[in-house]
């Protein structure tokens, strides 16, 4: 094969890749615009675990925002998050159409199950967060509220709109990605990087690493959320105390 033929083949591959990327980008933008019109309902769907967890506690719960643009930017994030979630199968299909012509038949048969399982497992991880993890986590962290008998002042949650969304998105992505572990391990086993003996010998080290990483992520996330909420509620608390004193 001549140099010109190699160059033309490379250019054609780049053109094909460009076409697939543009198709994916257009599909994502169209869904992003469509989702924005339903952003309030989408955010309401994400808030539902919080609403159900605090429904019967007898408190007047609400979500607050402390910046003029906060709710608008939050709705943009919700719209993009939903659009990306919906268009993921289409993006994977575009990737498949790009790489499929260069694969042998047995390679295509081996890869197709992974392309199907990847979005399904991610969706299952998101469902686990929404229906199980979030209700339990909300009730657990709300248990730290206080009426003020032992702390002199009541401690009550004033959840912010964007921080609640950030927490939900982080959890959904974290569990969605963690649910890809069977896919990753299966692929690594197919190419000979790991095997069952390798995994058995190093299981205890992996468990320790997972617990250490989870502890670091969780403590950092909730410390930042608590610190930001403290910053946003301290001026309000100070003004209330000043008014009471007067």
- Contact between 71 and 161 under an 8 Å Cβ cutoff? The reply is yes
DSSP codes, 131-185 = IIIHHHHHHHHHTT-B-STTTSS-B----BHHHHHHHHHHHHHHHHHHTTHHHHH
At 245 the pLDDT is: 44
- Gap between the Cα atoms of 38 and 90, Å rounded: 21
pTM of this prediction?
Answer: 0.73
Q: With a cut of 90, say whether residue 30 has pLDDT above it.
A: yes
User: Which pLDDT score is estimated for 224?
Assistant: 54
The two three-digit tokens of residue 126, written as one number: 């998101």
- What angle is formed at CA 54 by the lines to CA 53 and CA 56, rounded to 5 degrees? 105
Please report which confidence band the pLDDT of residue 26 belongs to, taking 50, 70 and 90 as the band edges: very high
Tell me what the pLDDT averaged over the chain comes to.
Answer: 78
Question: Would you say residue 86 has pLDDT above 80?
Answer: yes
The continuous run of DSSP H or E covering 199 comes out as helix 196-201
pLDDT of residue 32: 94
Which whole number is the average pLDDT over 187-193? 77
Q: Which of 67-76, 88-97, 162-171, 186-195 has the lowest mean pLDDT?
A: 186-195
Q: What is the average per-residue pLDDT within 123-149?
A: 84
């Amino acid at each position: 094969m001549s140099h010109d033929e190699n160059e033309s083949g490379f250019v054609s591959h780049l053109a094909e890749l460009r076409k697939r990327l543009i198709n994916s980008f257009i599909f994502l933008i169209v869904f992003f615009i469509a989702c924005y019109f339903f952003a309030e309902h989408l955010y309401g769907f994400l808030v539902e675990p919080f609403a159900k967890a605090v429904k019967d506690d007898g408190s007047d719960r609400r979500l607050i925002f402390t910046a003029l643009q906060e709710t608008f930017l939050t709705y943009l994030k919700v719209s993009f998050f939903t659009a990306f979630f919906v268009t993921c199968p289409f993006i994977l299909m575009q990737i498949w159409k790009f790489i499929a012509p260069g694969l042998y038949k047995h390679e295509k048969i081996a890869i197709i199950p992974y392309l199907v399982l990847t979005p399904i497992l991610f969706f299952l991880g998101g469902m686990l967060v929404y229906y199980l993890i979030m209700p339990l986590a909300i009730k657990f962290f709300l248990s730290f509220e206080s009426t003020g008998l032992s702390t002199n002042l009541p401690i009550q949650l004033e959840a912010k709109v964007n921080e609640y969304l950030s927490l939900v998105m982080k959890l959904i992505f974290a569990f969605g990605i963690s649910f890809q572990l069977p896919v990753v391990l299966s692929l690594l086993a197919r190419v000979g990087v790991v095997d069952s003996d390798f995994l058995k010998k190093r299981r205890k080290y992996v468990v320790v690493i997972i617990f250490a990483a989870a502890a670091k992520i969780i403590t950092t996330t909730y410390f930042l959320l608590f610190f930001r909420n403290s910053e946003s509620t301290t001026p309000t608390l100070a003004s209330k105390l000043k008014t009471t004193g007067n």
